[in-house]
Amino acid sequence: MEQRKQVLSAIQPTGQMHFGNYFGAVKNWVALQEKYDCTYGVVDYHAMTMPYNPKKLRENTWELLFNLMAVGVKPESLFIQSLVPEHTELCWIFNCFTSYGQLTRMTQFKDKSAQVAETATDSFISAGLLDYPVLQAADILIYRADYVPVGKDQEQHLELTRNIAQRFNNQMGKEYFVLPEPLYTEVPKVRSTADPTRKMSKSAGEKHYIDVFGDDNRIRKQIRSAVTDTGDTPAGEMSPGVDNLFTLLKAAESMEAYESLMKDYEAGELKYVDLKDAVADALVGLSADFKARKEALKADKKEIKNQIKASSAEIRKKAQETVRAVKEMAGLSNVKF
């Protein structure tokens, strides 16, 4: 039997899961489990690169894990990054195969540095923020991943990962690391319903994201108040706001409503209230299913937490094998596990 390819992806524990997260990444994670051997991490070390609250970080980590399981991610695929310390050990080794210039050219470092400068009182920019693409490379390569699901905003980081792997292979004279390939799958570009020119995001403020596990009435209110036309859309083109609502409806797989309302749009007969009602119904329906599953999981919270700790320990074994091999090649002292 042909061995299944390895997929690695990860997400930071930064609070609620919104529909941009779900439709743009996590829904795809669930689908990929059927075709690949998938490893999915909640990367709490990465969340430390920006100003954060320690207690909230731990709470958000577990909340995200319950959310991921509620939407269909298999618990045996999940790990918590800080329970696998080999990630940071490999990161240090990779630091010695990465140039300072490469890191300073990272677009997200520039963007997040500017964000810190705008919002933090002391404008403190951590070395971790500069270095986190190297930790990200360790996250991927430590599991010898063949594929990494990425969006356009992550292509630069994956290319750095490939550069680090190739430099290590060249210096060691051995093709040890597979150069991971991007896994492009069709995912919707979900925008803020309050400002459809912007990506749906928690960092933009509460009105710019819709919580997957949120209150039904709030979800409906956010959709009812969604921006549709702003008056500056060229004739014959769908406005960004209307396009975003159709995107949400299609992503929620409410295809009968999608096709019917699209016919109305093409005939010039679309009523925005009908489109908004359909989107609200679709999102509330999804949310209700996910909330029911989450409640069932939380009823057995202790057992679920133990399960995630066990899966992290099992996944760690592969990380240990990689680090042991890397240290041997790099001329470092080693121990047997």
Q: Count H helices, E strands: the chain?
A: 13, 5
Three-state DSSP class for residue 188 = coil
CA–CA distance, 315 with 77 (Å, rounded to integer): 8
Active site residue 112: yes
Catalytic residue among 5, 56, 189, 202: 202
262-271, Cβ contacts within 8 angstroms, sequence gap of 24 or more: 265/238, 270/242
Contact 36, 81 (CB under 8 A): no
To 10 degrees, what angle do helices 86-95 and 301-330 make? 30
The single-letter DSSP state of residue 13 is -
User: Residue type at 210?
Assistant: I
Half-sphere exposure of 136 (CA within 13 A, CB side): 29
Three-state SS for 144-187 is: CCCEEECCHHHHHHHHHHHHHHHHHHHHHCCCCCCCCEEECCCC
CA–CA distance, 59 with 96 (Å, rounded to integer): 34
Nearest one of 207, 237, 197 to 18, comparing CA atoms: 207
300-304, Cβ contacts within 8 angstroms, sequence gap of 24 or more: 304/65, 304/66, 304/69, 304/75
Catalytic residue among 27, 112, 276, 294: 112
Active site residue 202: yes
Tokens of 234: 């060229």
Q: How far apart are the first and last CA of the chain?
A: 30
Catalytic residue among 189, 199, 318, 327: 199
Adjacent-strand bridge partners of 211: 18
Tokens of 311: 């899966």
Active site residue 199: yes
CA–CA distance, 96 with 7 (Å, rounded to integer): 26
Please give the positions annotated as active site. 112, 199, 202
